[in-house]
Structure 1
């Protein structure tokens, strides 16, 4: 049979045609849409809806009953989820009742307000905070503080050993763990450093007229180029004083800020990372009642003690947070003293700020010169920043041992006393 097939192919006659099985190729069948399933609870198919919409009087459709698993009292695949009417308790439970809509609240406003609170991390850091607060930046500490740092008469005798003991207490002694966490040793170090600074009250009795305030709430509202802004909520530990800090910059330096041009960061919005709300109250409050004897803000302390790295503020973000809350405290105090009308202050308000993570310190001095913050023209505020100052390079909690030989014993390495001198100078500023 194979030989016969070869002979027929050689003659040019296809084997299937020679037998009359196939005379011509079959035409392709037109492929139509797949058959649809019957109408379900979702309704008719789209082409049926389009056809019915053209009719002047659409035909009546029979509604199908939804089969749910309500009678089974448990989940059944293939059956619809039952929907029950809301349960009426007969009384209002604040933990299990829906609150009113934002539009129905009495403090609702059409205009949004941008809030800066303690967990806001500004994307552009200090530059963004400068634009929001209309502030000019000066690198380093002001001369009034540097004069205290460089004067030996204002230094504490034997402060290096005291500071080393404070570091050892926070990193080695006040714990049962081999290596304490940041959230533990950072507050302990701050308390010990403040205690060392309080020893200067024997030499300067006016240092006793101060008070540390924790968990107080600040609220300050201002407008910046048709943008309503607020600084409010909890912030760092505030040291209050009975007397204000005298102005740091002279009147000539304040007038010279009119020529300063604020830096922009277009196309990034200046309100990026701020929380926008529509339910708010335009409030200006220092966080203390009238008649509080320690009514003047002196220094803000920010302890960046988060042990988890994503929860920490980077140094640039921490400096921006320090600037925003120092400005908020100064603005709230200025509105108490001079009213809510925007103006250039006769006596500028000075607020200091210190930020630390238990090792790295940030120092800041802020001077509020004006409350007219709407436009970029006119007098600006001033801020002095001394950033990234290490108190010590490393605290070796566990000694390094190689081949049964201690190569690096436990202890403090790279101690820098100048950092504590700046810390002490900010503490003494306004008194010396």
Structure 2
């Protein structure tokens, strides 16, 4: 690779900040464009060798040091002048770092990384119990397909006067209408009335994996809670057989990549609800690619679903059995549904053990059904190319099986 010299006669390099010497390397100048500025080095204080400053002259003097004045104590707390103490001086400072997964985390390895963090085994597709619910004609709604199509048309066409409504508008409208449609089956399934939909709750749970400490915390979506827990999807023999499963590694990439590392944290377990909350069992977590949350790729979105379903299940297990690691006698099952208004992602997590520190022993189970479209196109105006209608106006490409899976997850555990 040739190195081209840039002299003062040529002028500054476009896009490069700062001043350069008389002759510098072009590759060196461009490569340092995005480098952060180094922090100023703290000078050691030596008694008797104080630096001469221009404090007495009360104006800047070249060659003299900048004066250092003691911090002024006002005698009262001014929130506009608050200065945070150093992390080492905070009450929650710990020597061991903690790696936090929150709603804005986008992990590099996606589901593979989430499986290692949760000590889980991956299973493609939905469990057989949920598939049977989706195929049972007794669980169908009257005029189901037509009513779902009307919900899609309402969210994409009838609820706005814009040619293309933003996702922040039609995605919540679609999900709320689908949940309302599923709730209409309460007459045939009375136990649906023993559920509650919670929003903006805050989760916090900690666990150790290998030699590192991890946390899942923060607001993560809408949670459907129930008075009764979901039944286990895998039997005792299938759970015991997971001990032979070998977890996949992605060396040389660290499992903690893209996780927030901090030394100031509170190691606690909190489900987000009080102990006397009448709906203590997490049923289904609903996530949307809308609002103030960053847009994630499908692989990273599915990893987020796995982590937060695991977090809700682990927080419930620690509330029931304490923080002592053990293999659960009754596994805890939590479901998750994510959508961007067209594609749906389905995840079912079964927590079998809280012994997460080592790679050996019983593993947890994760079922993932990815990229299920509810419809192909929803156009206010037809898409025409070379005088040929490529996509007609209106709703096209409706997929009834996607809503059947959505309804089956909603009816899971109901009687």
Q: TM-score, normalised by structure 2?
A: 0.83
Distance 2:292 2:78 in 1: 37
CA drift of 1:399 comes to: 3.1
Alpha-carbon deviations, 1:250-270, whole Å to 9, x = none? 111101101000000000000
Q: Which residue of 2 aligns with 1:150?
A: 135
Distance 2:199 2:240 in 1: 36
Q: What are the within-5 Å matches in structure 2 for residues 44-63 of structure 1?
A: none
Distance 2:389 2:231 in 1: 53
Q: Which residue of 2 aligns with 1:271?
A: 256
Q: What are the within-5 Å matches in structure 2 for residues 243-262 of structure 1?
A: 243-262=228-247
Q: Which residue of 2 aligns with 1:225?
A: 210
Q: What are the within-5 Å matches in structure 2 for residues 34-183 of structure 1?
A: 66=54, 85=69, 86-183=71-168
Unaligned runs of 5+ in 1: 1-60
Alignment of 1:337 with 2:347, yes or no, is no
**Residues 307, 333 of structure 1: alpha-carbon distance in 2 compared, 3 angstrom cutoff:** closer
Note if contact 1:69-1:82 (Cα within 8 Å) is conserved in structure 2.
Answer: no
Distance 1:66 1:204 in 2: 82
**Residues 405, 385 of structure 1: alpha-carbon distance in 2 compared, 3 angstrom cutoff:** closer
Distance 1:233 1:150 in 2: 36
**Residues 97, 125 of structure 1: alpha-carbon distance in 2 compared, 3 angstrom cutoff:** same
1:317 pairs with one of 300, 303, 308: 300
CA drift of 1:397 comes to: 2.0
CA drift of 1:247 comes to: 0.2
User: Which range moves more in the overlay, 94-103 or 240-249?
Assistant: 94-103
RMSD of aligned alpha carbons: 2.5
1:198 pairs with one of 180, 183, 189: 183
CA drift of 1:88 comes to: 4.0
Alignment of 1:427 with 2:393, yes or no, is no
Q: Which residue of 2 aligns with 1:385?
A: 368
Note if contact 1:239-1:298 (Cα within 8 Å) is conserved in structure 2.
Answer: yes
- Give the match's secondary structure for 1:199: helix
Distance 1:255 1:338 in 2: 20
- Give the match's secondary structure for 2:405: helix
Distance 1:233 1:407 in 2: 44
Q: Which residue of 2 aligns with 1:18?
A: none
How many residues are matched?
Answer: 366
Distance 1:210 1:251 in 2: 28
Note if contact 1:352-1:365 (Cα within 8 Å) is conserved in structure 2.
Answer: yes
**Residues 404, 81 of structure 1: alpha-carbon distance in 2 compared, 3 angstrom cutoff:** farther
Distance 1:364 1:190 in 2: 17
**Residues 357, 81 of structure 1: alpha-carbon distance in 2 compared, 3 angstrom cutoff:** farther
- Give the match's secondary structure for 2:238: helix
CA drift of 1:82 comes to: 6.3
User: Which range moves more in the overlay, 387-396 or 89-98?
Assistant: 89-98
Distance 1:291 1:212 in 2: 17
Alignment of 1:370 with 2:353, yes or no, is yes
- Give the match's secondary structure for 1:195: helix
CA drift of 1:96 comes to: 1.8
Unaligned runs of 5+ in 2: 1-48
Distance 1:254 1:69 in 2: 79
**Residues 402, 386 of structure 1: alpha-carbon distance in 2 compared, 3 angstrom cutoff:** closer
Q: Please identify the structure whose Cα radius of gyration is greater.
A: 1
Distance 1:392 1:68 in 2: 76
Distance 2:193 2:330 in 1: 25
Q: Which residue of 2 aligns with 1:292?
A: 277
CA drift of 1:281 comes to: 1.2
CA drift of 1:410 comes to: 2.3
